[in-house]
Amino acid sequence: MRLLVGLGNPGTKYAHNRHNIGFMAVDEIVRRHGFGAWRGRFQSQCAEGIMDGNKILAIKPETYMNESGLAVGAALRFFKLEAEDVIVIHDEIDLAPGKVRIKQGGGHAGHNGLRDIDAHIGKNYHRVRMGVGHPGLKERVTGHVLDDFSKADMVWLSPLLDAVAESFPKLAANDEKGFTNTLGQIIGPQAPPQKTKDDRET
């Protein structure tokens, strides 16, 4: 069994924010692969699906971003899983828009959702880092991630969400290279999986 966690903030106010790209990706995975209906559980919205005979529980925490670990920790303990059974999809300001990297372990680089998950389950989970770009100045980061994607962003965002959803079964089967290769075939070359614990790669 795997836990698939999308990070974001709940509510329509935040639905189209850059910070919510994790929610968007998980929504598309759930839709494309015919998961069951969303329902409230573990302080989150959950949907269950099967990929290649393996159960996948998709989770969108209903806490705000900085308390994402509450839902993840509760689900992990309930199903008696380990951190390495968790895949977290989140926004990454240190990657250009449309770029994706995957890694296991490492630091949170100031991402409050990852910081809270680290506190609840440790750091050895898998991360799908979806680039949303950096505004250039540190003091502009909060406004940047809490701004909505623009119409111009849809040129790369919609195909990216489709590609991540189509490629996800590879990642669910622990085939990180296969995920990256499939993603690259759809939207162009991506960086190889990252397993370093260097915070600069977070």
- CA–CA distance, 92 with 198 (Å, rounded to integer): 15
The model carries a pTM of: 0.88
Spatial neighbors of 11 by CB under 8 A, at least 6 apart, are: none
Beta bridge partners of 18: none
Of 19, 33, 126, 144, the active-site residue reads: 19
Kindly write down the DSSP assignment for every residue of the chain, as one continuous string: -EEEEE----SGGGTTBGGGHHHHHHHHHHHHTT----EEETTEEEEEEEETTEEEEEEEESS-GGGHHHHHHHHHHHTT--GGGEEEEEEETTS-TT-EEEEES---TT-HHHHHHHHHH-S-SEEEEEE----SSGGGHHHHHTSBPPTTTHHHHHHHHHHHHHHHHHHHTT-HHHHHHHHHHHHS--PPPB----GGG-
Tell me what the pLDDT averaged over the chain comes to: 88
Annotation marks residue 120 as catalytic: no
pLDDT in tens, 116-167: 999 999 999 999 999 988 888 888 888 888 889 989 899 899 999 999 999 9
Q: What is the pLDDT of residue 147?
A: 86
Is 56 within 8 Å of 1 (Cβ atoms)?
Answer: yes
- CA–CA distance, 198 with 103 (Å, rounded to integer): 11
pLDDT in tens, 44-63: 999 999 998 889 999 999 99
Q: Which architecture, in CATH terms, is 2-201?
A: 3-Layer(aba) Sandwich (3.40)
**191 has a pLDDT exceeding 90:** no
